[in-house]
Chain A
Amino acid sequence: MVGASVTVNGIDAMAPGGSRRAVRRSLLAFGLLLWTPACKSLPDLGPYTEATANVGQGVREAGAAVDAEIGRLATPLTIPLDADETKAEAERTAAYDKARKDLRAQWDQVVAAVDAVTAYSASLEAIYSAGKSGAKSVEKVADAAKSLADKLFGGSAPILTGAASSAVSAIYGEIAKARAAKKLQASMATMGLAVNQMATELDKALATLEALLQPQPLEVALRSRVLERYQLEYKLDLGQRKKVLEAREQAHGRFVQKLSATAPSAPDALAAHEAQLEALEDQVERLDMVLASTEPAYRAYTQEIETIRVRFDQQRRAVAETRKAVAEWARVHAALAEQLETKRPPDIAVLVQLGKQIDAAVESYR
């Protein structure tokens, strides 16, 4: 195909003003020769490009999310620790670092696979663009041919100009579309099986990461880590706080019970009743003070836990969406391949119009 187009461009540039009819015949023959019966319009690659981008972004982000969470677990505590705690801390940090490195090394292969998928998508786009800009390509070649002819023949270079040149560009524009459609069809048909296999592998890999992002194991390990830090810093004793809360509830319950009971009428019994109420009220107040003193730390702790929970929720949703995107990517690829596979008759109207353009071009050449 390219060789033939060179010849035509050679004619564009070099025809020394001989038989115009021969030029016309050559142009028509060239156009029709390359016009394949399977000529198709180019499909819209937009949905496929978008699906590929979603898969690429999702896979990269899923890997980065898990890597960052393990990184958080690997981060050593910065508070003063005793010798045993320091040793244990160093060991756990090293263990998480190694686990993170090992997982990352395996995930890199998944990312490489997604990079290849992206490159494949870009190559389909390149064919599509080349097909769409066929007329421009032939104009560039014509310009280069004219430049060469000018150098060889000087100002007397015989070239097709005006309408004739436009007609040749238009012909090649259609040829480029046909070539692009044919190549897209061949490529997408060839890759059908590989795309399905890749979708299966990517889904498996994402499912593996998704399992790590479930409430167990990474999220619970981070919750454990936050709690451990608060305990080691003596900021918060959740167990003790729970006991205080329970004691406060009991004291308050007793106070309410006593308050709602009928007060004794005898002066001594009434005084004892009031003293008990006062004691219970004092106890509730003291316990409230204890709880209030731990409230800022408790609030900060629950806020950290909530932040972790929300982050993991978002990450789980993102991975689930990416798994859907992988399935969609394979489906769109199959749909496009099928669309390209569907044989369509050549657009005769375009051919007729081109023939007229060539006629007009050759007439203007006379």
Chain B
Amino acid sequence: MTIDYDQAETFSDWAKILESLLDDAAQASTAEARGEAAEALVDFMQRSPNWLAKDLDRVAARTVDALTLTAIEVATQKLRLQRLELQRLTKVFEAEAEANQAAARSIRLERVHATLKSTATAVEDLRTLVASLQAGDELGAVANDAVTALTSLRAALASAADKGA
């Protein structure tokens, strides 16, 4: 709509112009139409004399806000419609990332390394325990069992090594 601002002199003139702009804003059903309506309202605020049309400018400003809030709501709704698909894809990527990290750990032989380290620590702990036990201590039997287990472990490892050799 072409508006002849040069003819606007009185409050009533400006009010009529604003009324037509508000009609346009109310009918704006697309993003483009809402944008044009908002631009026209800001143009109105820039052209109307503040001393005369201050209250009209406030109405124009609140209408610009309403158009903007509608645009934000439309964007929010669009993103909401994507939510389920994004959630599904997020899970797919997370699961694959987890599987890949496990594969990387495997390639780095982390489990083998950890097992060997913990076994070495267990052997060391056992040695310390045996050394600290007094003869006739009630834990002696436990220690003996442990030493037997250690001996068996050693025999098993030696046997495995023999077979490999």
Contacts and interface: CB of A to CB of B under 8 A. Distances in A.
Contact of A15 (B48, B57, B161): B161
A298 to B, nearest CB: 12
B118 to A, nearest CB: 9
Interface string B43-65: 00111111111100110111011
B54 A231 contact: yes
Contact of B164 (A14, A179, A190): A14
Contacts of B73: 99, 102
Contacts of B160: 10, 14
Contacts of B57: 228, 231
A151 B153 CA distance: 12
B93 A198 contact: yes
Contacts of A351: none
Interface in B11-56: 31, 34-36, 38-39, 41-42, 45-54
A29 B29 CA distance: 74
A140 to B, nearest CB: 5
A123 B101 contact: yes
Given A106-B79, A221-B38, A129 B104 contact: yes
A113 B86 contact: yes
A95 B109 contact: no
Interface stretch (A201-209, A249-257, A265-273, A336-344): A201-209
Interface string B92-129: 11101111110111111101110011011001100100
B112 to A, nearest CB: 5
B157 interface: yes
Contacts of A14: 157-158, 160-161, 164
Given A109-B83, A116-B89, A130 B161 contact: no
B61 A224 contact: yes
Contact of A220 (B38, B48, B83): B38
A103 B76 contact: yes
* Chain B interface SS verdict (over half): helix
A176 B67 CA distance: 60
B97 A120 contact: yes
B147 interface: no
A147 interface: yes
A180 B107 contact: yes
Contacts of B98: 123
A216 to B, nearest CB: 3
A214 B35 contact: yes
B64 to A, nearest CB: 4
Contacts of B158: 14, 16
* Chain A interface SS verdict (over half): helix
Given A190-B96, A224-B38, A201 B108 contact: no
A224 B69 CA distance: 14
Contacts of B165: 11, 15-16, 18-19, 22-23, 26
A56 interface: no
B138 interface: no
Contacts of B143: none
Contacts of A85: 58
Contact of B47 (A7, A215, A224, A242): A242
Contacts of B103: 127, 130, 179, 183, 187
Interface of A: 1-2, 5-7, 9-11, 14-16, 18-19, 22-23, 26, 70, 73, 85, 88, 92, 95-96, 99-100, 102-103, 106-107, 109-110, 112-113, 115-117, 119-120, 122-124, 126-127, 129-131, 133-134, 137-138, 140-141, 144-145, 147-149, 151-153, 158, 176, 179-180, 183, 187, 190-191, 194, 197-198, 201, 204-205, 208-209, 211-212, 214-218, 220-221, 223-225, 227-228, 231, 234, 236-240, 242-243
Of all A-B residue pairs in the complex, the 3 with the closest CB atoms, nearest first, are A216-B35, A123-B100, A14-B161
30 contacts: A5-B109, A16-B158, A26-B164, A88-B58, A88-B62, A102-B73, A103-B75, A106-B79, A110-B79, A116-B89, A116-B90, A116-B94, A120-B97, A123-B97, A127-B104, A131-B107, A140-B109, A144-B117, A149-B157, A152-B150, A152-B153, A176-B107, A194-B92, A211-B75, A217-B31, A221-B38, A221-B64, A224-B41, A227-B46, A239-B48
Given A144-B116, A179-B107, A216-B31, 9 more contacts: A119-B94, A123-B101, A127-B100, A144-B113, A147-B117, A216-B34, A223-B42, A238-B46, A243-B49
